[in-house]
Structure 1
Amino acid sequence: MSPIRTVMTGLLAASLATPAFANGPTCATPEERSALDIRALQSQLMVLALTCQQEEQYNRFVTQHRGTLGSVYNQVQRHFRRVYGGAGQRRLDEYITNTANGHSQVGISQGSLFCSNQAGLFPAALASTTRDQLAQLSQQRQISQVYSPTACGTATRSASSTTHRPANARPAQRPAAERQARPASSTAPRS
């Protein structure tokens, strides 16, 4: 079996052995979001290298951006630990596996066009000299993500969590015990 088939078979087997990566109530700082974008770009480049026999260019990319890629990995790892606690490493491993598998599936779906469709990605990645440029490249090329946490500090409410009441409806009263435990003059918001 060729090396690329071995890697792809391993990725597929690993993705089948892990549960689907589900987004929970998570958020990412702008720095974490940037790190996730760069990890997705690195994954796309790895799949491109394996699929299109461009391992030499991938090795140049990794060598050229070694410091940034190490820093990005550590930041993504801290994000998963912050969000998922003790399950953070397992969730990070799932993220890495599922990201690579997702990129591989795109390659498979594009068939023989995949390599030509991605022809400019390695030159652009190698021309990038900063972390910000790598993150921008990932965004400009719309590199797919399997994990998209919301931005930290943004309040988002889904339609399913919003209660719809007629305009003339009165809000429900709190239970008597709760009303008595809280002074009427208190202006502090309830949690």
Structure 2
Amino acid sequence: MSKRLLIAGLAAAALATPAFAQQACVQPAEQTAFQVRALQSQLMVAALTCAPADNIYAANYRQFLDRYKPQLEQAFRTMQGHYRRTAGAGNRGERALDQHVTTLANINNQDGTRQGSLFCRNAASLFQQALAAPQEMGALATVAQNNNLANPHGRAECTTPAAATPSGNSARGRNRSADSGTVRTAEAATR
């Protein structure tokens, strides 16, 4: 019995080490990717919500997707790496990523509802800023950060770099926690 207790104690001690805590944190490159995805999500919600009759928002969103395709793909791959690192490879990591993307779309949709008629005006300005940004991950992350876009990963930034995570630009912004609400999965189609 004491051998089992010793093993359990060692396992608990291993989980309490700083190295384990670093596994659940967000590396600078991952933070940048989360910010880029937050921007993409907010613009997607605007394209689906605002002025569908004149399609300017949808056209702007298509232009955004075309212009920043390499950066958006890089952000998605970096997020995949984050969830593989923190939730595990295979289905667990993919489910965690899917949950994050859905939560982000829900938060942005709810933000639009809270803003009411101001949402589309704000989105027009956000599209202008996004489409004027250089074709770099850091520039897109800065647009998201400057507009205080939701970033509901809920994890602190890492204090030491993880060996398995590529380095990149750091974008420090405020994180808003996820609200419950209607599930929107249209964003998954843009991955």
- TM-score category, normalised to shorter length: 0.5 to 0.7
- Report the RMSD for the aligned CA atoms in angstroms: 1.3
Shift of 1:28: 1.0
Indicate the residue corresponding to 2:157 in structure 1.
Answer: 151
Indicate the residue corresponding to 2:125 in structure 1.
Answer: 120
Alignment of 1:6-85 (within 5 A): 26-52=24-50, 53=52, 54-85=57-88
**3-state SS of 1:150 partner:** coil
Q: Distance in 2 between matches of 1:57 and 1:106?
A: 20
**3-state SS of 2:116 partner:** helix
C-alpha deviations, 1:118-156, integer Å up to 9, x for none? 3210011011112111011111000012213111126xx
Larger mean CA deviation between 125-134 and 55-64 belongs to: 125-134
C-alpha deviations, 1:90-121, integer Å up to 9, x for none? 00000000100110001112222211133210
C-alpha deviations, 1:56-87, integer Å up to 9, x for none? 00000000000110111001011001000041
**Unpaired stretches in structure 1, ≥5 consecutive residues:** 1-24, 155-191
Indicate the residue corresponding to 2:99 in structure 1.
Answer: 94
Letter in 2 for 1:115: C
C-alpha deviations, 1:13-40, integer Å up to 9, x for none? xxxxxxxxxxxx7201100100001001
Q: Distance in 2 between matches of 1:117 and 1:64?
A: 21
Structure 1 segments, 4+ long, off by >3 Å, are none
**3-state SS of 1:120 partner:** helix
Structure showing greater Rg: 1
Contact 2:25 2:156 in 1 (8 A): yes
Q: Distance in 2 between matches of 1:120 and 1:112?
A: 14
TM-score (norm 1): 0.65
TM-score (norm 2): 0.65
Letter in 1 for 2:80: Q
Indicate the residue corresponding to 1:160 in structure 2.
Answer: none
